[in-house]
């Protein structure tokens, strides 16, 4: 609803109103218009995947309804792909502020020595540096996903009607429906951690962490609530498994994110084999664990659905009763694997400068192990891990990688940080002198100098 346009009189317009401003975007108003019995001319139909002939017949270039549906779904993905990148912008800004502040803020230290920067503390490293690794991984993944979406859109503009085009639409839809939850939730948790890691300074309005948190908040719900969107991704994966069991089809997709599922039975036979923390730092270890995890959760979700249906529940009830611990976890594990897989491939790519590969490899390994840590219970439940040693090794590797990356952390945020006037956060200034801005802001002279002489008021009282 724009203030620069005026709706022409329309008898069918039942009501039109705004519902007020938003928490993060007060300049925008949520509005709606309700129409009743409005006839839409046939020429104005949205008919990219199907049309209505003058004689009333429905016509479509797609013989398979699933292919037609896939082509339609791809059009919905643009906003979700963009939101994934928007969330990463907020996360990177928050990390820039928190890590720069942590590198300059000194507090306590060993007896009879100078105070040390809080970034030297293991707990501060563990709180912030995994999110730095996530920011790099998601930055690359969101860019590569955008290129996938651009390829799909190019085919759509060229009016390509091939099966591959429809398959691309379905895969983009599955990726978009899970990348937005992963990106926005990671940013949500990361920004909050950055805010808390800066103590009271993080709560100070001028340091912007509160604004960044509010700005990211709607990313979790617009263009689809995250928890609802994840159901689309799990449906996509379950559809592949069903086709494999029913028709024996080869599991293969245009962007190859599900190709490993073609070896579903063999992957479920694998076990965790690393015996040292150093071995765990190889991204291949996390990738193997994630492939097993996705296969296991896919099989468990299928079993859960079959159990629900065997109890007489219809498809709606069966799916509704299979989300928590099953389909939702499946979708998240799948998108985390996709993100890790693409980041790992980029680290080892020929066009990646050799001098950057060591630190990027550490970021990749940390992101994989840190993300995998949230699935430990499932890995033990399915028998991929056994005994206490694997969990200890993963924890040791995460802490070791955080320690190794702490000296590069400031340089890593400097690589993506905007200029100070855009960051607009005193404690996040690139020169590390934010405390001076807090103690004496640029406008202090207006209150302490160049004032007119004012006589005493005492004689006038």
- Active site (catalytic) residues: 223
Looking at the DSSP assignment, which residues form a beta bridge with residue 52?
58
**Which are the contacts of 214, defined by CB distance < 8 A and separation ≥ 6?**
23, 24
Taking the CA of residue 268 as centre, how many other CA atoms within 13 Å lie in the half-sphere pointing to its CB? 14
Contact between 336 and 134 (Cβ < 8 Å): no
Distances in Å between the Cα of 163 and the Cα atoms of 64, 72, 243 are: 9, 13, 16
Question: What single DSSP character describes residue 44?
Answer: G
Supply the DSSP string of 39-50, one letter for each residue: PPPGGGS--SS-
Contact between 175 and 192 (Cβ < 8 Å): no
3-state secondary structure 412-430: HHHCCCCCHHHHCCHHHCC
CA 375 to chain centroid, in Å, comes to 17
Residues 330/336/337/342 CA torsion (nearest 10 deg): 150
Widest pairwise Cα distance in the chain: 101
**Nearest residue to 331 (alpha-carbon basis) of 222, 228, 216:** 228
Distances in Å between the Cα of 127 and the Cα atoms of 188, 261, 308 are: 14, 34, 40
Helix, strand, or coil here: 349? coil
Looking at the DSSP assignment, which residues form a beta bridge with residue 21?
29
């Amino acid at each position: 609803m724009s203030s620069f346009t005026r709706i022409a009189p329309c008898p069918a317009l039942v009501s039109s109103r705004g519902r007020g401003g938003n928490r993060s975007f007060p300049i925008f108003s949520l509005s709606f218009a309700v129409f009743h019995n409005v006839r839409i001319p046939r020429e104005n139909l949205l008919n990219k995947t199907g049309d209505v002939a003058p004689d009333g017949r429905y016509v479509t270039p797609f013989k398979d309804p699933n292919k037609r549906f896939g082509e339609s779904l791809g059009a919905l993905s643009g906003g979700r792909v963009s939101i994934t990148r928007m969330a990463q912008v907020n996360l990177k800004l928050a990390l820039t502020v928190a890590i720069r502040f942590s590198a300059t803020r000194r507090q306590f230290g060993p007896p009879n020595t100078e105070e040390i920067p809080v970034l030297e503390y293991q707990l501060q490293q563990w709180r912030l540096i995994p999110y730095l690794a996530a920011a790099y991984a998601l930055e690359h993944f969101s860019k590569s996903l955008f290129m996938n979406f651009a390829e799909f859109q190019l085919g759509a503009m060229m009016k390509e009607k091939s099966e591959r085009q429809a398959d691309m639409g379905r895969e983009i839809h599955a990726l978009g429906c899970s990348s937005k939850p992963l990106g926005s939730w990671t940013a949500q948790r990361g920004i909050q951690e950055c805010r808390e890691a800066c103590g009271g300074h993080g709560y100070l309005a001028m340091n912007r962490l509160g604004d960044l948190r509010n700005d990211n908040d709607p990313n979790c719900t617009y263009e689809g609530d995250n928890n609802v969107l994840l159901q689309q991704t799990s449906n996509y994966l379950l559809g592949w498994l069903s086709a494999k069991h029913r028709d024996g089809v080869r599991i293969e997709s245009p962007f190859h994110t599900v190709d490993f599922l073609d070896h579903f039975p063999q992957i479920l036979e694998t076990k965790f084999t690393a015996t040292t923390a150093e071995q765990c730092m190889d991204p291949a270890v996390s990738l193997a664990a994630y492939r097993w995890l996705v296969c296991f959760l896919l099989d468990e979700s299928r079993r859960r659905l079959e159990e629900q249906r065997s109890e007489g529940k219809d498809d709606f009830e069966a799916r509704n009763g299979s989300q928590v611990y099953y389909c939702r976890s499946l979708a998240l594990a799948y998108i985390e694997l996709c993100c890790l897989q693409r980041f790992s491939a980029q680290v080892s790519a020929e066009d990646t400068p050799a001098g950057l590969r060591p630190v990027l490899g550490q970021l990749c390994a940390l992101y994989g192990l840190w993300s995998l840590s949230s699935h430990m219970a499932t890995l033990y439940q399915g028998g991929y891990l056994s005994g206490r040693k694997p969990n200890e090794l993963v924890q040791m590797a995460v802490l070791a990688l955080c320690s190794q990356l702490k000296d590069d952390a400031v340089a890593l945020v400097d690589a993506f940080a905007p200029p100070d006037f855009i960051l607009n956060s005193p404690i996040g200034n690139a020169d590390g002198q934010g405390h001076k801005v807090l103690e004496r802001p640029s406008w202090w002279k207006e209150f302490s100098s160049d004032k007119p002489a004012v006589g005493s008021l005492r004689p006038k009282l």
